Each structure stands twice: as C-alpha cells, then as structure tokens.
Chain A
Amino acid sequence: MNRKIASILVGAAMALTGATVAGAGTLEEVKAKGFLQCGANGGNLIGFGATDEKGEWSGIDVDFCRAMAAAIFNDPTKVKFTPLNAKERFTALQSGEVDVLSRNTTWTMSRDSSLGLQFVGVTYYDGQGFMVRKSLGVSSALELSGAKVCTQTGTTTELNLADYFRSHNMPYEVVAFEKNEEVLQAYEAGRCDAYTTDASGLYAERLKLTNPEEHMILPEIISKEPLGPAVRQGDDKWFTLAKWTLFALLNAEELGMTKANIDEKKTSDNPEIKRFLGIEGNFGEPIGLSSDWAYNVIKNVGNYGEIFDANIGPSTPLGIARGLNNLWSKGGIQYAPPIR
C-alpha cells in the first residue's frame, strides 16, 4: 500500500519532469519507450566516449550501445546517451537511469558481486600505464621512484598505483583530482612527473596536450583493466542480449563479415554465417529479438574490428595497435562463443 502512495507523490513530480518508472523487463521497457538509454563517458574520452562540437557522440563504448540499439530496433540512432562521471556511474545503472553502462569501466570481482551489476564482457583489454615527459629521461616505470604522480580519484587507478609502488618499494606522492580535465591541466603545468590512468586513456589524453610529441607512454602495464559494458543484476534476458550483441560483433569479424560485404554473405553456404544471419534457425527469438538481429547489428555499425579501427585504430589520431584486442585467431585474446 505504502509503495502506491509513494508512487502517487513521486508520479506527480515525474509527470512534469520526464522521469520514468521501470516495469518488469528492461527489454520490454526499452521497446516500449522506443530507445535505449546508454551511460557513456562524460569526460570526453576521445575514442571511447566523446562528443564533438556538434554534440555528436563517438567511440568504442558508444558504438557498443549503437549495436544494441541496432539489434533491438534495427536502427542505431535509437539510443540516447547520458554522460556519467566515475562517481555516479554505478548509481545511475542501479537506479535504472540508464539501461546499460558502457563507459570504459573495469570489470572487477567486487563490482560484479557487490555493486548490483553484471559485466557483459570485454570490449577492450586495457591496463594501467604511465605517461611522462620525454625530457625526464625515464624509459621504464621502475625508474619512477620518488615521482609525483597525478591521477583521478574514485577509480581503480588510484589503488593500482599504490599497490605498484608499494610492491616495488618505491616512494611516491599522489595528487588525486576530481575530474580528468583537472588532472591534465595539473600534469601539463608540471605539478607531476607522471600521469597515470588506463593506457587507452593516456593515448587519448595525450592528444589534448599542447605538445603531444614531448610526452611518452611508458611500456609497463601495471594492472589488468578489462573494460566492458555492464547491466543491472537480476534481468537475465537483458544480460544475455547485451552479452550476445558483443559476441555478434566479434563473431562477425571472425567470419569475415563487414558492414560492406554482409549483404553478399547472405548467399554464402557457410552454415555458421547462415546461422549468424538468421537464415538457418532462429536465434533471435529466445532473447526477444527478430531472427536477423545479428545482421542488423553488423549492417548498421560494422564488426568489432571495424569499430576498433574507426575509433582508436592505427589510422586514427590515437593510433592504438590491436595487440591483446586482436581476435584469438590472430594473436589476441578476443574470443567469442559460437552462435549455434
């Protein structure tokens, strides 16, 4: 009874404000409201989640949300982005403000178990690194003893940093800021010898420095940072959908299907491709989608490799090599279970 009265009061406020009341399943809700609400990086992380001058979103994490929208609606534009900072991202997902959190978030056990969320998979295998001035003459993180290090608070970065320096018995000093704009300004001003965050982030942030070529990223990776999207715990159907959207992206690359050639592949005799495109069997139905859901994903946003290359690959300003993020068959560790 009490809940009802509560919802009356809240409902009155909500009618004015455009808040939403969640019902049974996330997928049904998303279908009902006609778009996917995606939590993205509010800190303008180029290549992962960023907006340009026109407010247009781009990045790997952003494209994952577009892929989900394509799977559900066959329309990658039916997604709205909520920019989130490190502190509020989990609350935003827990409270239902966003349907999926795709904001370069590290998959850790405590987050998986005690924050009420569930990681879908890994869109980018990352690790924490250090950026220093070339003039410092340092070529390894092990030479950073006594360094002053700038970082952002409220991330696993701060803890990894402490662990690394303690385990190597090196003194250090940490200066931790609230926003990465501030970290960058402080590093640029010379407050710190080194700037630490996920290596991918370092590449992105380096572009924003006055003279990017005067700075280098040290080879050591001091932590495992598998970045991936997460959904709320307790909605298995939605979880499965998100998980298989990611696997579809990977499988498509493995099967050689791209945005451009996927229509030709429809005539392929390869049973794997046939299953993928929904020509054989109906794998969409159990997850609440149409049988050609995977086709829609690739047709609209491309496969994993295409997304990677377009946003952060060697031809972009970030110029990150595939490395670990290559397919398992090409020397990386990206591996997706088969669709069958």
Chain B
Amino acid sequence: MATLLNNPTIRGYAFQIAFVLVLGWFVWDIIDNTARNLQKANIAAGYGFLDRTAGFGIVQKLVPYTEASSYGRALYVGLLNTLLVAGLGILFASILGFIVGVARLSPNWLVSRVATAYVEILRNIPLLLQLFFWYFAVLRAVPGMREKWTLFGVFHLNIGGLHIPKLVLGEGAWTVAAAVLIAVAIMVFLSRWGRARQNRTGRRPPIGLLNTVVLFGLPLIAFFAAGRPLYFDVPVFNETGPLLRRGFQPDAGMTIVPEFVGLLLALSLYTATYIAEVVRSGVQAVNRGQTEAAASLGLLPRQILRLVVLPQALRIIIPPLTNQYLNLTKNSSLAVAVAYPDLVSVGGTVLNQTGQAVEVVSIWMLFYLGLSFLTSAVMGYFNKRVALVER
C-alpha cells in the first residue's frame, strides 16, 4: 500500500482523476444551479430570443437596421461597430505609436522630451477617465447642433459629429473596383520583376514611378470609361426653417458620431503610448554594431533603417505588439460608457430587455475569445515569416 501511494506515476493519475472529478462536479453544480434559477425566474434558456423584435434604436449602424429588426441583427450591428472602432484604432495607434517610439530616441532634446512626457502622462491615467474626458470635455468645446466648424470646405464639425461627404457608388462602380484590383496585381508583378532584374543586372528599374502610374492611372481610366459612376454626397446644412430642422440634415452626406470619435481618440492615444514603448525597446534592442556595419557598407540612413534595423526590430516588436492590439480590441468594450453601440453595449441592452444573461454573456465571450485566437494565429504566422531563419 505504501509503495503504491508513493509511486509518482500512480499518485499523478490519482491526483488527476480527483482533480477531474472535483472540477466536473463544480461545473455541473453551476450548470444545475443556473438551470434551476432560470426555471424559477421563468426565463427560457436558448438562443431563440435572437429572432424576436428588438424595438430599440441604434445611433450608428453599418448595415441597415431599424427598430423592427431582430435582436440578432442588433447584435450584428454592435459586432460590426466593435470591429470598426478596433480596426481604425489599431491603425491610428500603430502610426502614432511608431512615431512617438522613434521620437523618444531622437537626438533632438525637445522631441524626445515631449514624446516621453506624452507616454508618461497618458499611460498612467485610466483609459475610462480619458474616455470621459475626450467625450464630455470635447463635446462641450465643439459648436452646437445648429452651428459648425468647417475645414477645407468639405469637412464640418459640430456636436452632432463630423460631417463629411459620402462616396456613393453609382451604376458601373464595380469597373473602378475591378481596376483597382487589377492595378494591385500588376504592381505585385512589377515589383517581383524589378527585384529579379536588380538581382540579375544590379540595376534597379524605376519601379516606384511605374507603380504610382499604374495605381492611379488604371482606376482613373476605368472611372471615365464607365461614365463617372462615383460621386460624393455632400452634407447639407440648413440655416433657416424651424430650429429642429436647422443644422445638418440626416439623409445627406456621412456623419461620424461623436461617440465614435471620442472612443477612437481615447483608444488610439492610450494604446499608442504602449506601442511607443514596444517600438522603442525593439529598436534599442538592435545591436549598435549592426547600424555601424551597415553604415560602413555605404548604405544610406534611410536604407539602414529599412533594410537593417527595422527587420530585426520587428522580430522583437511583433509579439508584444500583438498583445497591444488585442488589448485595444478588448478595451473598445468601454464604449458602453459613452453610448457608442458596440457589441457589449448593444448586448447589455438586449440582456436587459430579455433577461437572457447567460446567452448574451456567452456571445460576448465567444466573440472576444475568437478574435483573440484569430489575431494570435495571424500574428503567429506573420511572426514566423519575419523570424530569423536559422541554419
């Protein structure tokens, strides 16, 4: 008996079996309790409620949605809104983060100090607070609903949001889209050909120029050939009429609601501080000898950065950068505080109207988990591509 109990393998098995039993019982008990509680509260379990009519309005929708649409549709609208703000947030945060990260290493004293101050200040203030600040403080600063600030004659800003011309796709717009696709394909081909030629002859054909011509030329030709199917729908601003009818008209142009602007601003500015730190440590981690060796080979500073430093720094940057992207996506759920209808916000409303707590929370969790795994997978693939090829 004693030997049996002291055998590590057997102890391991015994422990695992006990572990599974306790865990299984725990999970089962939770499920059992939940089922009992739901039954008591007369709430039907299951996802059937997704087909029922939602009955509430949503301020920003990328796909058609009315109050008569279903709860499922409302959640879909919220999901797209999350993706939109996360995607744009990642883009802006990356651009700003890279600039600030490099600026912190600048030999210019003022530049590096301002970059440091930016990082140290915004990183140490809770995101929710920044969100409130950008939303409520800026909301008070911009002109009211019946006034506007105009930039370049086409961008208008007031408390109702940013009003910009909307690109309308007319008949035959697909030809332009097709032309863009073809142009991109040609560009890829040209670049390959150029590189091959440079390897063979040592001379580099003017690929950049050719690419530019193709990228702009082809769609332009298609645009005119198809009879100019693209045009802009400009915002309309009424100065007269009853007070409620004044200001920007809802059916003309495109309106970017302030909730979206505030959230995007807060997310980008906050996450950029983290990305800046990631970039800075990545660049600093590249051995100085690499830069010096590249310089002694006669590479230009621009080439050193592009061909020597960045490829090596990227390898260090990508894993933590992925984390920051995921953080930004998860943080976009703070939208609920400023009335931006993202998945969590819309889900919260649905939860409250239907009482289907378990189902709604499960939808949230599945979405964010799925997104996490997807991002990790894509970044893992990308990471593998830039990783050091070891012989």
Contacts and interface: CB of A to CB of B under 8 A. Distances in A.
> Do chains A and B make direct contact within the complex (CB under 8 angstroms)?
yes
A178 B42 CA distance: 26
A109 interface: no
A26 B348 CA distance: 31
A87 B336 CA distance: 13
Given A162-B57, A191-B139, A153 B349 contact: yes
A189 B250 contact: no
A163 B352 CA distance: 18
B144 interface: yes
B73 to A, nearest CB: 14
B139 A190 contact: yes
Interface in B126-155: 136, 139-140, 144-145
Contact of B42 (A116, A137, A155, A190): A116
B338 A182 contact: yes
B106 interface: no
B348 A87 contact: yes
B159 interface: yes
Interface residues of B, number: 43
B333 to A, nearest CB: 12
A2 B32 contact: yes
A144 B213 CA distance: 52
Given A87-B348, A193-B145, A144 B244 contact: yes
Contact of A154 (B41, B58, B243, B348): B348
Contacts of A87: 348, 351-352
A90 interface: yes
Interface of A is mostly: mixed
A336 interface: no
Contact of A136 (B40, B140, B244): B244
A144 to B, nearest CB: 7
Interface string A233-248: 0100000000000000
Contact of B59 (A2, A174, A179): A174
Contact of B29 (A2, A159, A177): A2
Interface string A182-226: 100110011101000000000000000000000000000000000
B339 interface: yes
A264 interface: no
Given A2-B32, A162-B67, A146 B352 contact: no
A201 to B, nearest CB: 17
A215 to B, nearest CB: 15
Nearest to B26: A9
A294 B336 CA distance: 45
9 contacts: A2-B32, A87-B351, A91-B357, A137-B242, A153-B345, A158-B349, A172-B57, A176-B56, A177-B338
